[in-house]
């Protein structure tokens, strides 16, 4: 079964586990990352810092605070991953709604799935590249994401969340297409 076919709780469980493996395998938190101006620590910081506010403002949910990314990036990530998984495993979560002025009202599990879990998936590549680890992503999930984001390219680029598309060959594999689409150089390596 493809990642995109999984229900939100199971999809997060698998994607978060892959990211957790990269977090636990990181040796140099100050290593540059493929996102301009970011380090490996900043990849974790991004995920740990934007999502709690998204949940709090849109659904009134406060995630438990974990350690600071500055002092314990592994603990900060693991704490958040556990909290999000517990939220997704709660049978009430699909009946709750996240309200956002940009996306309207969305079932909470779908909002987490579409915005946060997808972000974790894409940033797995960033952290893996920054820390010299396995950067392979699920090819089917990469293809699904590119197909879903391509029709909204102007909106996505206008949001400031994605850099300019990096050109890749038309016959590039799905991961290369996704990485280029989100504004990363698929051939990026730390200097």
Average pLDDT over residues 139-148: 95
- What the chain holds in terms of domains, given with CATH numbers, is 3-135 (1.20.120)
pLDDT above 80: residue 173: yes
**What's residue 29's pLDDT?**
98
Average pLDDT over residues 34-57: 96
**What's residue 151's pLDDT?**
84
pLDDT above 80: residue 160: no
pLDDT above 80: residue 157: no
CB 183 within 8 A of CB 122: no
Share of the chain above pLDDT 70, in %: 100
How many angstroms separate the CA atoms of 182 and 164, rounded? 7
10-41 pLDDT, tens digit per residue, is 999 999 999 999 999 999 999 999 999 999 99
pTM summary value: 0.95
**What's residue 31's pLDDT?**
97
pLDDT above 80: residue 161: no
**What's residue 53's pLDDT?**
95
Share of the chain above pLDDT 90, in %: 84
Helices 8-25, 118-131: inter-axial angle, 10-degree rounding: 20
- Compute how many other C-beta atoms are within 10 angstroms of the C-beta atom of residue 134: 11
pLDDT above 80: residue 1: no
Q: pLDDT grade, residue 117 (50/70/90)?
A: very high
Give 92: exposed, middle or buried? Use CB within 10 Å, 0-12, 13-18, 19+. Answer: exposed
pLDDT above 80: residue 119: yes
Chain mean pLDDT for the chain: 94
pLDDT above 90: residue 158: no
Average pLDDT over residues 50-65: 95
């Amino acid at each position: 079964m493809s990642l995109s076919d999984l229900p939100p709780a199971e999809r997060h469980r698998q994607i978060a586990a892959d990211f957790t493996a990269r977090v636990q395998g990181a040796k140099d938190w100050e290593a540059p990352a493929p996102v301009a101006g970011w380090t490996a620590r900043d990849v974790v910081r991004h995920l740990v810092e934007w999502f709690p506010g998204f949940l709090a403002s849109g659904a009134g949910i406060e995630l438990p605070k974990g350690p600071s990314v500055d002092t314990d990036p592994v603990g900060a990530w693991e704490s958040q991953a556990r909290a999000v998984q517990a939220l997704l495993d709660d049978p009430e979560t699909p009946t709750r709604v996240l309200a956002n002025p940009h996306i309207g009202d969305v079932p909470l599990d779908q909002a987490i799935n579409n915005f946060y879990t997808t972000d974790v998936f894409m940033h797995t590549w960033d952290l893996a590249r920054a820390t010299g680890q396995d950067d392979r992503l699920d090819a089917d999930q990469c293809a699904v994401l590119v197909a879903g984001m391509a029709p909204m390219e102007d909106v996505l680029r206008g949001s400031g969340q994605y850099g300019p598309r990096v050109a890749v060959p038309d016959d590039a594999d799905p991961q290369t297409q996704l990485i280029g689409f989100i504004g990363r150089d698929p051939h990026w390596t730390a200097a």
